[in-house]
Amino acid sequence: MFKKSNEQTMKEAIDLLMETYRLKEKYAEVNIVESWAQIMGPTVANLTTEIYIRNKKLYICLDSAVLRKELSMAKEKIIEVVNEKAGARTILDVIFL
């Protein structure tokens, strides 16, 4: 069955809405924060006290100095994994606090 030219799928309509109102990037950022435990695992998530994104930088507050040092050495891998989860180049840098 062919769809008429003015018809679109629900996904297409939502994508168009998000693009029109420039919500895609913000949605990706919220998705990253909400998925932090899934991305990094429960151990890292339990030691994370705060996580937020500003100006394409992911800020992570950790309870453990040892973990902070270990994750800072894996910064590029974290950026890669987080951006893969987001489906776009949402994060350019990671700052550990």
CATH number of the domain at 27, please: 3.30.300
Residue 16 and residue 10 in contact, taking contact as beta carbons nearer than 8 Å = no
What is the Cα–Cα distance from 37 to 10, expressed in whole angstroms? 29
Residue 32 lies in a domain: yes
Residue 16 lies in a domain: yes
3-state helix, strand, coil in the chain (%, to 5): 55, 20, 25
Domain membership of residue 35 as a residue range? 10-96
How confident is residue 5, by pLDDT bands cut at 50, 70 and 90?
low
- Give the mean pLDDT of 1-25: 74
What contacts 59, CB < 8 A, 6 or more positions away? 50, 51, 52, 53, 95, 97
Residue 5 lies in a domain: no
Q: What is the pLDDT of residues 26-71, one digit of tens each?
A: 888 888 999 999 999 999 999 999 999 999 999 999 999 999 999 9
Residue 62 lies in a domain: yes
Residue 58 lies in a domain: yes
Residue 34 lies in a domain: yes
What contacts 37, CB < 8 A, 6 or more positions away? 45
Structural domains of the chain, count? 1
Q: What is the mean pLDDT of the chain?
A: 88
| Strand, helix or coil for residue 35 | coil
Residue 93 above 70 pLDDT? yes
